Amino acid sequence: MREIRVELGERSYPVVVGSGARHRLGELIPIGATRAAVVSQEAIPWPVDCGVEQRTFFLDEGEDAKNLESVEELCRAFAKWGMHRIDVVVAVGGGVVTDVAGFAAAVYHRGIAVVHVPTTLLGQVDAAIGGKTGVNLPEGKNLVGAIWQPAAVLCDTETLTTLPPREYRSGLGEMAKYAFLGVPGLRDLSLDDAVAACVACKADVVGSDERESGRRAVLNYGHTLAHALETTGGYDLRHGEAVAIGLVFAARLARRLGRVDADRVAEHEAVVAAYDLPMRPPPGWDAHDLITVMARDKKATNGGLTFVLDGPNGLEVVTGVAADAVEATLGEFER
């Protein structure tokens, strides 16, 4: 079992990675909690033992459940059960569960403890670490949320054995991102070591910039186009698949802007191809729709679009990118 700490002063917490990590839940429930609200989905076959009185609350399946109504329903159910500020939410599931349960924990009684038990690869290497929680609005993904750090995260790699292949592959899209964030040789590591290496990278970034006033933005590499694809495409792409397309796009955009050379673009394409992930959007995408949504992105500023782009100094946030350059780079998907 590997243990990595996210260092945030008094709010520091452990991330336990390994097969069977969920069995350490009882010892990581915050002291004093008398009730644990386990938030999960019916299809997730991983019961947990919190070591205190517990009750399970199910969210609907799919990205559509990531809305304010789900948060309200959870908070009302917590209230009916009589949960207090000392109690704890335990989120068992993928990114949707982490985001919705984490946000409900952030706002219920103005904030109660949450422990994440991510059961998807995507959750283990990204969504469950770092405290981002939130839900979608019809106008875009993750537009309402809070940064609410968990008390602990248990990345049980045994839970990945039951993932549908497409869901697992989607997690590889998020893992591929870390290849460009300075994690070397990811594909040569065992699954446990690869997850732990991604967690350690993310823990380091979050520990240095919790509220994304600078460095943390590099974790959004590939995500600007990914979010736009998910929004305009009605979510028929998995998140990690969209990120994979976004990574290839970001590399090509960086090349168009003279920041990287063709070899670096080829490296991006090779990593994405090696994980058997898509390199172009599904048919039906529209450049103007994508640019409209990207311009609405939380990271966008007036006078151009904003992307995390590779360059001579590594990944950095680049503002003021002209829509023409973005449109031309999107056009490369048509070749």
- Identify whether 116 is a catalytic site residue: no
- Identify whether 202 is a catalytic site residue: yes
- Identify whether 220 is a catalytic site residue: yes
Q: Least distance in Å: CB of 249 to ligand GLY?
A: 18
Q: Residues 159-198 vs ligand GLY: string with x where CB under 6 A?
A: ----------------------------------------
Chain centroid offset of residue 76 CA: 26
Q: Least distance in Å: CB of 85 to ligand GLY?
A: 26
DSSP state letter for 282: P
Closest among 155, 105, 149, 98 to 125, alpha carbons compared: 155
Residue holding tokens 């009302």? 76
Q: Is 99:114 a contact under the CB 8 Å cutoff? A: no
Choose between 33 and 294: whose C-beta lies nearer to ligand GLY: 294
- Identify whether 332 is a catalytic site residue: no
- Return the ∠ at Cα 52 (arms to 163 and 150), rounded to 5°: 55
Q: Which of 116, 169, 177, 220 is catalytic?
A: 220
- Identify whether 141 is a catalytic site residue: no
Torsion angle of C-alpha atoms 76, 78, 79, 80, degrees rounded to 10: 90
Which residue's Cβ lies closest to ligand GLY?
219
What are 288's two structure tokens? 């103007």
By CB under 6 A, residue 255 contacts ligand GLY: no
By CB under 6 A, residue 216 contacts ligand GLY: yes
- Identify whether 227 is a catalytic site residue: yes
Among 37, 195, 219, 271, binds ligand GLY (CB under 6 A): 219
By CB under 6 A, residue 252 contacts ligand GLY: no
Choose between 78 and 178: whose C-beta lies nearer to ligand GLY: 178
Q: Which of 22, 66, 169, 227 is catalytic?
A: 227
Q: Least distance in Å: CB of 110 to ligand GLY?
A: 23
Q: Is 142:135 a contact under the CB 8 Å cutoff? A: yes
What's the 3-state SS for 109-174?
HHCCEEEEEECCHHHHHHHCCCCEEEEEECCEEEEEEEECCCCEEEEEHHHHHHCCHHHHHHHHHH
Please report, as residue ranges, which positions from 121 to 150 form the binding site for ligand GLY (by CB under 6 A).
126, 130, 132
DSSP state letter for 217: G
- Identify whether 110 is a catalytic site residue: yes
- Identify whether 212 is a catalytic site residue: yes
Which residues are at the interface with ligand GLY (CB under 6 A)? 126, 130, 132, 216, 219-220
**Active site positions, annotated:** 110, 132, 174, 202, 212, 216, 220, 223, 227, 239
